[in-house]
Chains A and B, each alone.
Chain A
Amino acid sequence: MSSAEKYVTAAYLVVLGVLLVYLVIYAFKLSRLEREVGELAELARRQRDAEPTPEPDREEVAP
């Protein structure tokens, strides 16, 4: 491999490398978002369970 070929390959590899790093960072961000959505869903479920359940309407019985 000549010197020019090495430099050209390096230039293209740098671009691919930076894109790869970006994708890895983005994958970590997505997994964090997924975890946060899970935590919020759990929080919403707990709040719903803690609320007192309204009494069912009683049907009026004719005398």
Chain B
Amino acid sequence: MGLALAFYWVPDAPLEGFRQRIFYIHVPVALTAYACFGWAAWKALRLLWVRNDRYDLESYTAVHMGVIFGILTLVTGSIWARTSWGVWWSWGERQLVLFLVLFLFYSAYFMLRYSVEPGPRRARMSAVYALFGVVLIPVSFLAIRLAEGLIHPVVFDRDVGSNLAGSQLLTFVICFAGTLALAASLYVNELTGKRVDERLRELREALS
């Protein structure tokens, strides 16, 4: 539905024209990546707080989802940059670089996780790492507003509010809700798969 609205209902933006339609996929995907990393940090905090191992798998799955949506953010953002600014990437843009740092930080999570033997120690180390990464989320999100002289557009401003027209805002909200729902269903599927995998391993050990 969001796709149909973005292509057929929303009018062309005054400055960006047709290419502004990438906004309806790029921004929801980026916000969903932040949400996944935030969820991973929350589950990591729960693990450290209540010492329940089930949160380890939940945190790991959320990081997994976050990295997938992070890749999509970088690719769609790069395509938008190419069509709007004429370049695939700009190292001068703090927003882009900070998102890349956040993405690489959480990509390194897997290297840390698989370099330690499974068990409570690995769970605690992974949880602490996931918690550290969450600090980068507000920095990455606010970088665009704190820095000056950027070419990356600001759509939601604290002083003005939303710079979108009514139809654009509605389309954005629908696309964002759809992307969040997609991420949630992928998360539940992935988590169920990982839990079944774990139970099967236990069953195999018990039977052999």
| A interface residues with partner B (beta carbon < 8 Å) | 2-5, 7-8, 10-12, 14-15, 18-19, 22, 26, 29-30, 33, 36-37, 40, 43-44, 47
Contacts and interface: CB of A to CB of B under 8 A. Distances in A.
Nearest to A30: B193
Contact of B193 (A7, A10, A33): A33
28 contacts: A4-B18, A4-B83, A5-B18, A7-B82, A8-B18, A8-B83, A10-B79, A11-B22, A11-B26, A11-B75, A11-B76, A11-B80, A12-B3, A14-B72, A14-B79, A15-B25, A15-B29, A18-B68, A29-B193, A33-B196, A33-B197, A33-B200, A37-B200, A40-B203, A40-B204, A43-B207, A43-B208, A44-B207
Overall SS of chain A's interface: helix
B5 to A, nearest CB: 13
Interface string B6-47: 000000000001110110011001000000000000000000
A8 to B, nearest CB: 5
Given A4-B19, A33-B197, A44-B207, 4 more contacts: A2-B18, A4-B18, A7-B82, A40-B207
Interface of B: 3, 17-19, 21-22, 25-26, 29, 68, 71-72, 75-76, 79-80, 82-83, 182, 186, 189-190, 193, 196-197, 200, 203-204, 207-208
Q: Which 8 A-B pairs have the closest CB atoms?
A: A7-B83, A4-B19, A4-B18, A11-B79, A11-B76, A11-B22, A8-B21, A43-B207
Contacts of A22: 68, 186
Q: Is the interface of B mostly helix, strand, loop or mixed?
A: helix
Nearest to B80: A11
A15 B104 CA distance: 20
A12 B17 contact: no
A55 to B, nearest CB: 26
Contacts of B79: 7, 10-11, 14
Contacts of B76: 11, 14-15
